[in-house]
């Protein structure tokens, strides 16, 4: 499995995958569904893609952090960013593409996960154990 090769490879791969998905959804919003979906739903799609791209880069940073710091903080940081990607960006993608508004309820939870990820990344830098 990918994690057997080192957690930094897993986080790098997940960051790259998240970035690719963000590009796909951003392109679909701009070139395929523009004019096909109501304005707010296009906005949800582009917002999800924008946040996913930023946090794809954050996951790449987590891969690097794993090479420099040990312990639970880098792991928790990666999981927080990944949770944010699934709930925030994923929730917006689902709502935009299907019109299912009930899924919007998970989006703020994903936003909190993104914030927790940034706090954990800061904590890693300030108190984490260096390798």
What's the CA gap between 30 and 52, in Å, rounded?
16
pLDDT in tens, 108-129: 999 999 999 999 999 999 998 8
Parallel, antiparallel, or unpaired: how do β-strands 129-130 and 69-70 relate?
A: antiparallel
Predicted local distance difference test score (pLDDT) of residue 31: 87
**Closest Cα to residue 78, out of 130, 26, 13?**
13
- Stated pTM of the model: 0.90
**Closest Cα to residue 49, out of 35, 70, 73, 31?**
31
Predicted local distance difference test score (pLDDT) of residue 34: 75
pLDDT in tens, 11-67: 999 999 999 999 999 998 888 877 778 888 899 999 999 999 999 999 999 999 999
- What average pLDDT is seen over the chain? 91
Contact 88, 114 (CB under 8 A): yes
Predicted local distance difference test score (pLDDT) of residue 78: 96
């Amino acid at each position: 499995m990918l994690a057997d090769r080192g957690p930094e490879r897993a986080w790098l791969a997940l960051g790259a995958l998240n970035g690719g998905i963000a590009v796909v959804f951003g392109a679909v919003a701009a070139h395929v569904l523009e004019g096909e979906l109501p304005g707010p739903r296009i906005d949800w799609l582009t917002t999800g893609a924008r946040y996913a791209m930023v946090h794809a880069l954050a996951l790449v940073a987590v891969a690097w952090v794993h090479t420099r710091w040990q312990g639970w903080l880098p792991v928790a940081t990666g999981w927080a960013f990944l949770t944010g990607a699934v709930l925030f960006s994923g929730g917006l993608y689902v709502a935009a593409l299907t019109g299912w508004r009930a899924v919007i309820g998970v989006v703020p939870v994903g936003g909190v996960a993104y914030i927790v990820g940034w706090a954990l990344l800061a904590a890693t830098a300030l108190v984490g154990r260096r390798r």
